Chain A
Amino acid sequence: MSYAVETERLTKYYGKARGIIDVDLQIDEGEIFGFIGPNGAGKSTTIRTLLGLIRKTSGEARVFGMDSEKQKVKILANVGYLPGEVFYYDNMRAIDLLRYSASFYQKDCTARMKELSDLLALDLNKKIEDMSLGNKKKVGIVQGLLHSPKLIILDEPTSGLDPLMQRTFFDLIKRENERGASVLFSSHILGEVQRICDRVAIIKEGRIVNVQRIDDLRQSACKRVSFTTKTPPESFSLPGAADLAIDGCHVSFLFSGDINALFAALSRLPLVNADVSEPELEEIFMHYYADGEAAQ
């Protein structure tokens, strides 16, 4: 089985500061692979090492079986990259930037450029510096995909895109995936990753702590539940509830388990208000690690 991306004990230190430690990843060809972790966990460091933007301290990193440092140029011909924040040259129209970008590839990207910019409703004749954050991001998407890359690397790609455009973007990525492209999608928003990824790697403090199928993660993922009752409850307990806090009439906890049992329990209470939402990533981590430590 050949991998789109494969790392073995990949380690990067910035001087003495930790970047990533012993990162092992295998991303199958044709897979949409999520990469999730809080800010500073090492997602961007991993990605930048794969792209040859930074040099590894030790370990191995291969893209399509090629060494990420020695065969960087060959690799980059087949990689499209969209960073979290997009910056381009000043005093340049989008069309000029995209033509310059296309000139690096041994193929005619004109039709693709037009197709993508039409899809994203992007005005190519506008100067990039005059564009809104969202439109700059669209320029980034077009320049990252105009050469029909075999591997798409997305590093926090949705910041600045409105919900409608996010949907278009995810549809586009899914389409690229159906065309055969592998995708590495880094994010700190769990919902985003759940939306399109097949598997996800969780990284914390520079180390991969788990690689799971999204379906499995979804089952084990917890929800933040909070509700308010008419009168203060004397007590509240429910299998799967953790981090329980009762403050007068207000109760909140993290819940992982059978959602039907949750609603059955809530229905027995004199509720004024109730809210079930995605927890913050940090909460999932805490929950996750608490479970992990308990299991050990």
Chain B
Amino acid sequence: MNVYRFELRRTWKNAAVWTAALLALLAALTLWAYPVFIDGRAAVEKILAGFPPEFAAAFGFSLDDVFSYAGFYAFGFLYYFLFGAIMAAVAGLDIFSRENRNKCQDFLLTKPRGRGGLFCSKLLAALTLLTASNLLFILESIALYRNAGQDPAALGKAVLAASALFFTQIVMLAVSVFIAVFSKRIRSVSGTATTIGFAGFLLSALHSILEKDALRYITPFKYFDVTLAFSEGRFETPYVLTAAAVTLMLLALAFIRYCRADVAAA
């Protein structure tokens, strides 16, 4: 537990800042942008008519449903995913490259603790941060849903839709843990995390434009369809399985590498 506590103490502030930004973005889009958007529906439709359909697709919305609460909420998710992915990557990279960055692997790895145990403690710390952050995100989503006067009977679907962020973050965490463990040295946690986040964002935009199913299997932001969750209360099984397989595979490879790798002198 000492490694878990140590990692939490060193990363919670950063996670809190990202969570605050995420919650502020959610509130700003839902409470401020959505009403403005609805009021100006005619003007928005006129402006967007002048752009090719790929433009709207790339930015995560279609005119058919973006004016509904669920549609607008789902539109915002492209950006929540981006924020969430960077946050998850920061946590994964920071926690798993900490000793490597500080050249102090010798310190931690000569303590009487198995490397498997160290890996699990670090992973648990990252998962704790993401869980806490997502609990707040889901609670805020529920509050906003109620505030918008949406159907109380469909609240479960709204909660499932909101949980798409958590599941996507888990995938991005696995990606970042894999990168942290396999990289020779992470020079900048924030720089690498931003690159990971934007790579996810670009893949997502590319998939929206090209609409190729095969591409969706390597696009973490598209594994959990928020619109579908909102309307039908489910995610698509093939992509959920893909997300689970990718996550488990990356974490398993990282685990094996972390446990077996030779640690060179600093």
A residues adjacent to B (C-beta < 8 A): 14, 44, 48, 51-55, 72-77, 79, 81, 83-85, 87-90, 100-101, 103-105, 143
Q: Does B6 contact A (CB under 8 A)?
A: yes
- Smallest CB-CB separation from B10: which chain A residue? A89
- Tell whether, in the assembled complex, residue B98 and residue A103 are in contact, meaning their CB atoms are under 8 Å apart: no
B109: chain A residues at CB < 8 Å are 51-53
Among the stretches B33-41, B226-234, B258-266, the one at the interface with A is B258-266
Chain B residue nearest to A44 in the complex (CB): B265
**Does B114 have its Cβ within 8 Å of any Cβ on chain A?**
yes
Report the separation of the CA atoms of residues A100 and B265 in the bound assembly, to the nearest whole angstrom. 22
**Is the Cβ of B112 less than 8 Å from the Cβ of A90?**
no
B110 touches A89 (CB 8 A): no
A103 cross-chain contacts in B, Cβ below 8 A: 2
Interface stretch, picked from B24-32, B99-107, B156-164, B192-200, is B99-107
| CB neighbours of A72 from chain B (8 A) | 114
Query: A53-B106, A81-B106, A90-B102 given as contacts; is B262 within 8 A of A73 (CB)?
Result: no
Within 8 Å CB of A55, what residues of B?
Answer: 260, 262
**Main SS at interface, chain B:** loop
Contact A87 B266 (CB under 8 A): yes
Establish whether residues B112 and A89, one from each chain, have CB atoms under 8 Å apart when the complex forms.
Answer: no
Count A-B contacts at CB 8 Å. Answer: 64
Chain B residue numbers with a CB within 8 Å of A85 are: 265-266
Q: Which residue of B lies closest to A79 (CB)?
A: B110
8 closest A-B pairs by beta carbon, nearest first, are A77-B112, A87-B103, A103-B2, A54-B262, A104-B111, A76-B112, A53-B263, A87-B104
In the docked arrangement, what's the CA distance between A296 and B265, Å? 37
CB-CB under 8 A from A87, the residues of chain B are 102-104, 106-107, 266
A104 touches which of B2, B104, B266 (Cβ 8 Å): B2
Q: B113: CB under 8 A from chain A?
A: yes
Given that A55-B262, A100-B6, A103-B2 are contacting pairs, would A83 and B106 also be in contact in the complex, using a CB cutoff of 8 Å?
A: yes
Q: How far is the CA of A64 from the CA of B92 in the complex (A)?
A: 37
A–B Cβ pairs within 8 angstroms, 25 of them:
A14-B262, A48-B263, A48-B265, A51-B109, A52-B110, A53-B105, A53-B109, A53-B110, A54-B262, A54-B263, A55-B260, A76-B110, A76-B113, A77-B112, A79-B110, A83-B106, A83-B265, A87-B104, A87-B107, A89-B10, A90-B102, A100-B6, A101-B111, A104-B111, A104-B113
With A53-B262, A104-B112 given, name 19 new contacts (CB 8 A): A48-B263, A52-B109, A53-B105, A54-B262, A73-B112, A74-B112, A76-B110, A76-B111, A76-B113, A81-B110, A83-B266, A85-B266, A87-B106, A87-B107, A89-B98, A103-B2, A104-B2, A104-B111, A104-B113
* Cα A76 to Cα B98 with chains together (Å): 21
Task: Output the nearest chain A residue to B99 by Cβ-Cβ distance.
Answer: A89
Give the docked Cα–Cα distance between A89 and B85 (Å): 26
**Size bracket of the B interface:** 20 to 34
Q: Distance (Å) between the CB of B255 and the closest chain A CB?
A: 16
Interface of A (DSSP majority class) = loop
**B106 CB contacts on chain A under 8 angstroms:** 53, 81, 83, 87
Q: Residues 95-132 of chain B: 1 if any A CB is under 8 Å from the residue's CB, otherwise 0? A: 00010001111110111111000000000000000000
Docked complex Cα distance between A76 and B115 (Å)? 12
Bound together, the chains give a CA A76 to CA B104 distance in angstroms of: 16
Residues of chain A with a CB closer than 8 A to B110's CB: 51-53, 76, 79, 81
Could you say which residues of chain A place their CB within 8 Å of the CB of B113?
Answer: 73, 76, 104
CA distance A100 to B121 in the complex (A): 15
Residue numbers in A under 8 Å from B6 (CB-CB):
100
Q: Identify the interface centre among A73, A79, A105, A143: most chain B CB within 10 Å of its CB.
A: A73
In chain B, what residue has the closest Cβ to A97? Answer: B107
Distance in Å: Cβ of B96 to nearest Cβ of chain A: 14
Give the distance in Å from the alpha carbon of A73 to the alpha carbon of B98 in the complex. 21
- Docked pose: A55 CA to B107 CA in angstroms: 17
Q: Choose from B2, B104, B263, B265 the contact partner of A89 (Cβ within 8 Å).
A: B104
Which among A14, A44, A55, A104 has the highest number of chain B CB atoms within 10 Å? A104
* A88-B107 contact given A73-B113, A73-B114, CB 8 Å threshold: yes
Report chain A residues within 8 Å CB of B2: 100, 103-104
What is the chain A residue whose CB lies nearest that of B101? Answer: A90
Separation of A87 and B109 alpha carbons in the complex (Å): 13
Contact of B102 among A79, A88, A143 (CB under 8 A): A88
Q: Which residues of A contact B105 (CB under 8 A)?
A: 53
Instruction: Kindly provide the distance from the CB of B88 to the nearest chain A CB, expressed in whole angstroms.
Output: 22
Interface contact A143-B107, CB-CB below 8 Å: yes
Q: Please report the C-alpha to C-alpha distance between residue A274 and residue B102 in the assembled complex, in whole angstroms.
A: 48
Contacts of B102 in A (CB 8 A): 87-90
Q: 8 Å CB contacts to A: which residues of B1-25?
A: 2, 6, 10
Q: How far is the CA of A81 from the CA of B108 in the complex (A)?
A: 11
Interface centre among B10, B110, B262, B265 (most CB of A within 10 A): B110
